[in-house]
Amino acid sequence: MTVTVKLFASFRTGRFEVKTADYPAGTTVGDVVDSLALPRADVGIILINSRHAELDRPLAEGDNLALFPLLGGG
Amino acid sequence: MDTLKSYLEEHAAGDLLPWHRQLEASRSFGLTIAETEEAILAHGLLPARYQRNRTTIPQAGQRELFHSQVAVVGCGGLGGYVIEELARVGVGRIVAIDPDVFEEHNLNRQLLSTPERLGTSKVAAAARRVGEVNPAVTLVPLRRAFSRDNGGELLAGSRVAVDCLDAVASRLELAEACSSVGIPLVHGAIAGWYGQLTTQFPGEATLQAVYRSRSGGPGVETSLGNPSFTPAVVASLEVAEACKLLLGQGTTLRGRQLIVDLKSMEFTVINLKE
């Protein structure tokens, strides 16, 4: 299945802004996060087609996945 | 007070009262600078220092700001700039909450830090700075760590809280405390080139949505650090939100989150409701 992944802020460094790629059926958000070598603890907001989702959520054909880092500094 | 009123009317230039007249009125009538400011605003006049606020904030709004108390929770990178801007815009009472002293690694970004102040209290520096910048503003320094247990006490009397903390767990406790005491919370966080901002109203679990109910752990700032410009940007955005809440003007980020990316120079707003 084809999924478009959009990365925000520090997640872009050494990766990409937007990329459409093929993933096996049953791939979850967490699998994509792992495949991009993003520490799961660094992941803040996750949007699938502009709706909030969690790491265990399976992706579907044509989904747009957006990943934002968790920022806590002040 | 009739004589004070006459003094103010006599010495106002148009509707503006110059600073030296405000000082003179305080001395002549045995009032504090804050009491004189209250009288100036009550008589429909404006301390001249606020003349460039006027198109943005009408005289009645300036009076509203003067009678407002805002809690600034955390006096580091974000908090230093937030306190500076709240004091300059004319918020009458600022409660500054932070248990820490300045350390050398603060000097690259924290407005209130100087080499001479290393090892000294951040809230004491805030009080000194506000006393220099706008003596009509009362800064209440509370050298305490904010927690769920003392939240109600530390936020008492404040109309808005501004989140300038540096840990996810304490931010979530602050959000909970703001809901309990029934005040809105302006949230800002930073890391490297990046920042985020939102506004939570009482009863809305906005910060829980932002942090996906995580109870603790740092964010990416532990590896990215914080340069000088990101806290200044995000703090200014927080003050704009706080002023809108106090003045009842404009549209806040309620139910939305702003993601600031200064490296790509992109500002993205996402919906937090779904």
Residue B223 pLDDT: 81
Instruction: State chain B's mean pLDDT as an integer.
Output: 95
3-state helix vs strand vs coil in chain B, percent to 5: 45, 20, 35
Residue B222 pLDDT: 77
Of A21, A3, A8, A6, the residue nearest A68 (C-alpha): A8
pTM above 0.80, yes or no: yes
Rounded percentage of chain B residues whose pLDDT exceeds 70: 97
Determine, for residues A70 and B190 on separate chains, whether the beta-carbon distance falls below 8 Å. Answer: no
Token couple for A41: 């603890």
pLDDT bin (cut points 50, 70, 90) of residue B111 is very high
Residue B264 pLDDT: 95
**Helical spans, DSSP H, in chain B:** 2-11, 19-29, 33-42, 59-66, 77-89, 122-133, 151-155, 168-181, 206-210, 221-224, 229-247
Tell me how far apart the alpha carbons of residues B235 and B240 are, in angstroms, rounded to a whole number: 9
Residue B90 pLDDT: 98
Residue B216 pLDDT: 60
Residue B219 pLDDT: 73
Of A41, A28, A49, the residue nearest B168 (C-alpha): A41
Residue A30: in which H helix or E strand, if any? helix A29-35
Of the candidates B219, B263, B264, the beta carbon closest to that of A71 is on: B219
In the stretch 183-212 of chain B, residues with CB closer than 8 A to chain A read 188-196, 209-212
B94 pLDDT higher than 70: yes
Residue B273 pLDDT: 74
- Please give the average per-residue pLDDT across B110-123, as a whole number: 98
- Please give the average per-residue pLDDT across B11-30, as a whole number: 97
Residue B170 pLDDT: 94
Tell me how far apart the alpha carbons of residues B220 and B190 are, in angstroms, rounded to a whole number: 9
Determine, for residues A73 and B214 on separate chains, whether the beta-carbon distance falls below 8 Å. Answer: no
Residue B247 pLDDT: 98
Of the candidates B194, B212, B264, the beta carbon closest to that of A71 is on: B194
* 8 Å CB contact between B250 and B244: yes
B128 pLDDT higher than 70: yes
- Please give the average per-residue pLDDT across B165-187, as a whole number: 96
pLDDT bin (cut points 50, 70, 90) of residue B221 is confident
Strand A51-52 to B256-261 pairing: unpaired
Q: Does the complex come out with an ipTM higher than 0.85? A: yes
- Please give the average per-residue pLDDT across A13-35, as a whole number: 97
- Looking from the CA of B219 toward its CB, the CA atoms found within 13 Å total 33
- Give the distance from residue B190's alpha carbon to the nearest chain A alpha carbon, in angstroms: 5
Determine, for residues B270 and A51 on separate chains, whether the beta-carbon distance falls below 8 Å. Answer: no
Q: Is B193 helix (H, G, I), strand (E, B) or coil?
A: coil
Of the candidates A51, A52, A73, the beta carbon closest to that of B191 is on: A73
Closest-CA residue in chain A for B195? A71
Partner A contacted by B76 (CB < 8 A): yes
Determine, for residues A70 and B76 on separate chains, whether the beta-carbon distance falls below 8 Å. Answer: no
B108 pLDDT higher than 70: yes
Residues of A within 8 A of B271 (CB-CB) are 50
Residue B220 pLDDT: 78
Residue B160 pLDDT: 98
Residue B145 pLDDT: 97
Closest-CA residue in chain A for B257? A45
B213 pLDDT higher than 60: no
- Give the distance from residue B192's alpha carbon to the nearest chain A alpha carbon, in angstroms: 8
What backbone phi and psi angles, to 5 degrees, belong to B69? -115, 130
More confidently predicted of A41 and B85: B85
- Give the distance from residue B252's alpha carbon to the nearest chain A alpha carbon, in angstroms: 20
Closest-CA residue in chain B for A12? B264
Partner A contacted by B264 (CB < 8 A): yes
Determine, for residues A71 and B79 on separate chains, whether the beta-carbon distance falls below 8 Å. Answer: no
Length of chain A: 74
Residue A36 pLDDT: 97
Residue B212 pLDDT: 76
DSSP letter (8 states) at residue A57: P
- Please give the average per-residue pLDDT across B64-68, as a whole number: 98
Residues of A within 8 A of B214 (CB-CB) are 70
Residue B214 pLDDT: 65
Residues of B within 8 A of A64 (CB-CB) are none
- Please give the average per-residue pLDDT across B149-166, as a whole number: 97
B232 pLDDT higher than 80: yes
B193 pLDDT higher than 90: yes
